[in-house]
Amino acid sequence: MNTTSNKQYSSSSSLASSALQVLEARWVVPVLPQGMVLEHYSVVTSDNCILAILPQEQARAQYPSARIVDLNEHVLIPGLINLHTHAAMSLMRGFADDKPLMQWLQQHIWPAEKHFVSELFVRQGTLLGCAEMLAGGTTCFSDMYFFPQSVAEAAVQAGMRANIGLLVMELLSNYACDAEDYLQKGLQARDSWRDNELLSASLAPHAPYTVSNATFEQIITYAEQLGLNIHMHLHETRIEIEESLKQYGIRPLQRLESLGLLGPSLVAAHGVYLTEAEMTSLARHSCHIAHCPTSNLKLASGIAPVDALVKAGVNVVLGTDGAASNNRQDMFAEMRLAALLAKGASGDAESVPAAQALAMATINAAKALGQDNKLGSLEAGKYADIVAVDLSAVEIQPCYDVISHLVYSAGREHVSHVWIAGELKYQKLQGQAGIYADIEPAELKEISTEWQTRLSQYLA
């Protein structure tokens, strides 16, 4: 399955091992129950799963032959889950800044995509995005882009868990010519990775303004038949809502509701403009909002009413959006900004406390994917998708509250180990450069140099 698993590096002999191991940590934050911090505990993993979470001494006694990983200045958390990105857009990081969404899309991003997007662009761009996400403690991402097959190939190489959106829209692109073509190509791509336990798929109608009612109806049918979730942009800007009112006489969410699209399988990215009634409706239908605070600010889309969404009972998760509108795929930055922004925008300093921001990036996200039985918290029986964060750095001393530290003080640069399904996929030991189990730095360098040259020539 993993075509490059034999490419290991000098100091990575211990990487990607999945035998019985005891991760002996200064702190464990299992996320469930929310707010819990275990001190001097071990997480025991076997193959791809968590076997037990025990006091350190008990774990050593119970598993005397297990390999011990010493993490005595570290906190273990569940792998972070990025619920809205376009990973291949890593190649367009900082390509067009300081521009509003529609101008940014229509005058910069879409023309460049028309010029460059191909299977190769998507596979290589996604690999670069995976490398960024992995090093920053993200173990799973929900993607939406052209050529989903190429997204899958990159995720497989990186060893990441992914929910891959099968993009559908009415617009011609280098990938497909009409909605039917998108749908068929997407479903065909999905068939190729159905046996890979790290990969799942969602139907990804791009947005209300690029998808017709007829296509939405078809998507609902497929989603029900195949048990897929639905991932789309929704209520990202005021213009989107105004244009829907002009074209359909109703707001986009109302249109989706009347089509029967609202339900627990819907993950709607952004949700910046929502009335109280709409929030109630989202909650009643158990929909999920993928909050993308950085992207919403950067494109001046606005500030999503996260405090009100949470109070209405909507499951809020976090996304980075693509690197062209962020310009990072950094879930630590999104957790921090989500916690800060909810306070500033609502006027309530108790809104989205640190533990809730962490839940949005883990267990809430697992729920949105319908995979909270296997992901999103550190519990026996769940997949061993685990991140170690080293809290010993000078710039984050002293530490009174580990969960606060994860959200407000630490950053992706403090991530030291990333396990996915029990395998160590990334490691950065103190004072050393980070290494990946299955990605060669030279390959990443080649990818970024090649595309930077080509896109720079296009910009010139």
Decide whether 39 or 178 has the Cβ nearer to its own copies: 39
Take residue 99 and report the two structure tokens written for it.
């521009």
Distance CA(129)–CA(329), nearest Å, equals 7
Please state the closest distance from residue 315 (CB atom) to its own copies, in A. 21
Please state the closest distance from residue 234 (CB atom) to its own copies, in A. 18
Residue type (1 letter), 312: A
Please state the closest distance from residue 397 (CB atom) to its own copies, in A. 4
Please state the closest distance from residue 330 (CB atom) to its own copies, in A. 8
Distance spanning both ends of the chain, measured CA to CA: 41
Please state the closest distance from residue 249 (CB atom) to its own copies, in A. 25
- Cα–Cα distances in Å, from 125 out to 97, 118, 164, 191, 445? 19, 10, 15, 22, 12
Decide whether 98 or 195 has the Cβ nearer to its own copies: 98
Q: Classify strands 21-28 and 38-46 as parallel, antiparallel or unpaired.
A: antiparallel
Q: Quick check: 256 and 262 in contact, CB under 8 A?
A: yes
Decide whether 304 or 365 has the Cβ nearer to its own copies: 304
Decide whether 134 or 234 has the Cβ nearer to its own copies: 134
Please state the closest distance from residue 196 (CB atom) to its own copies, in A. 25
Please state the closest distance from residue 202 (CB atom) to its own copies, in A. 26
> Which one, of 403, 421, 289, 393, lies nearest residue 357 by Cα?
403
Decide whether 194 or 349 has the Cβ nearer to its own copies: 349
Decide whether 381 or 441 has the Cβ nearer to its own copies: 441
Question: What is the per-residue burial (b if ≥16 Cβ within 10 Å, else e) of 36-51?
Answer: eebeebbbbbbebbbb
Decide whether 33 or 398 has the Cβ nearer to its own copies: 398
- Cα–Cα distances in Å, from 241 out to 60, 181, 246? 58, 27, 9
Please state the closest distance from residue 399 (CB atom) to its own copies, in A. 7
Please state the closest distance from residue 309 (CB atom) to its own copies, in A. 17
Strand ranges, E, within 356-414: 386-390
Distance CA(249)–CA(245), nearest Å, equals 4
> Which one, of 335, 254, 256, 259, lies nearest residue 292 by Cα?
335
Q: Quick check: 243 and 209 in contact, CB under 8 A?
A: yes
Decide whether 148 or 353 has the Cβ nearer to its own copies: 353
Dihedral sign, Cα of residue 381, residue 385, residue 390, residue 395: negative
Decide whether 249 or 400 has the Cβ nearer to its own copies: 400
